[in-house]
Amino acid sequence: MSRVALVTGGSRGIGAAISAALKNAGYKVAANYAGNDEAAAAFTKETGIPTYKWNVADYEASKAGIAKVEADLGPIEVVVANAGITRDAPFHKMSPEQWQQVIDTNLTGVFNTVHPVWPGMRERKFGRVIVISSVNGQKGQFAQVNYAATKAGDIGIVRSLAQEGARAGITANAVCPGYIATEMVMAVPEKVRESIIAQIPAGRLGEPEEIARCVAFLASDDAQFINGSTISANGAQFFG
């Protein structure tokens, strides 16, 4: 029987590519989204993947949404915490609201997504937790104190979960995408984006599918001994 996978933020950007890659690999996929009904409907029409609306920043909403997915499709064995936002501003201009929104969605959102599925994974002695971090969690980024804090936090989360889950057959890993051609990166002012691309040795942005393939590998049975790790897919945008 095919496994059930949940992808948060799974109807757009990198998340949409992950949802599609997991479906192609034979999983029953549920794609969560927060607000863009039109994009979610178009995504379902194109891929046949059902979408479920809730805000990952809200614990009770996450719990209820996950219960609905499990009632519809079965127990979630692969969870991909991908939903994320940016509220970029230089630190001296960053408001407490910009800080809190990013923490609530990107970091607390990971807790809210994984916590409800964790007991079932422990009982069934199998689970895959994959968190989408970022190169900017590894190196920091101008105007992203909030975002970089959450993405660095993701690495601490998976290293800790890995230690707790290892004997229960659960792995927890992070993927750190570099700059990928999505709406999020396209929202960066063009001049800034050009200067960023100039710093990528590959000389280009990544494609969402290049991240999705990393996730599909980490989700597979073959990846059982990879636990607490980070896969960087960034076109060699390394940092010193």
Residues marked as catalytic? 147
- The enclosing H or E element of 50 equals none
Nearer to ligand CAA, 77 or 88 (CB): 88
Nearer to ligand CAA, 142 or 239 (CB): 142
For the window 176-215, what string marks contact with ligand CAA as x by the rule CB under 6 A?
Answer: ---x----xx--xx--x-----------------------
How many whole angstroms separate alpha carbon 38 and alpha carbon 29? 19
Distance from CA of residue 35 to its chain's centroid? Answer: 17
Structure tokens at 27: 């999983």
How many whole angstroms separate alpha carbon 204 and alpha carbon 181? 9
Give the burial string for 15-36 (b: 16+ CB within 10 Å, else e).
bbbbbbbbbebebbbbbbbbee
Q: How far is the CB of 147 from ligand CAA (least distance, A)?
A: 6
Residue nearest ligand CAA (C-beta atom): 134
**Interface with ligand CAA includes 33 (CB under 6 A)?**
no
Handedness of CA 79, 38, 65, 55 (dihedral sign): positive
Q: Pick from 93, 167, 183, 225 the residue near ligand CAA by CB under 6 A.
A: 93
- The enclosing H or E element of 198 equals helix 190-198
Q: Which of 9, 160, 11 is nearest to 79 (CA)?
A: 9
**Interface with ligand CAA includes 234 (CB under 6 A)?**
no
**Interface with ligand CAA includes 18 (CB under 6 A)?**
no
Exposed (0-12), middle (13-18) or buried (19+): which is 84, by Cβ within 10 Å?
buried
> Which residues contact residue 239 at a Cβ distance below 8 angstroms, ignoring those fewer than 6 apart?
135, 138, 139
For the window 117-136, what string marks contact with ligand CAA as x by the rule CB under 6 A?
Answer: -----------------xxx
Nearer to ligand CAA, 95 or 160 (CB): 95
**Interface with ligand CAA includes 147 (CB under 6 A)?**
yes
How many whole angstroms separate alpha carbon 108 and alpha carbon 101? 10
Q: Pick from 51, 82, 144, 150 the residue near ligand CAA by CB under 6 A.
A: 144
Structure tokens at 150: 């959450």
Nearer to ligand CAA, 41 or 192 (CB): 192
Structure tokens at 16: 């949409």
Nearer to ligand CAA, 70 or 209 (CB): 209
Q: Pick from 89, 103, 200, 226 the residue near ligand CAA by CB under 6 A.
A: 89
**Interface with ligand CAA includes 51 (CB under 6 A)?**
no
**Interface with ligand CAA includes 141 (CB under 6 A)?**
yes
Residues at the contact surface with ligand CAA, assessed by CB under 6 A: 86, 88-90, 93, 134-136, 141-144, 147, 179, 184-185, 188-189, 192
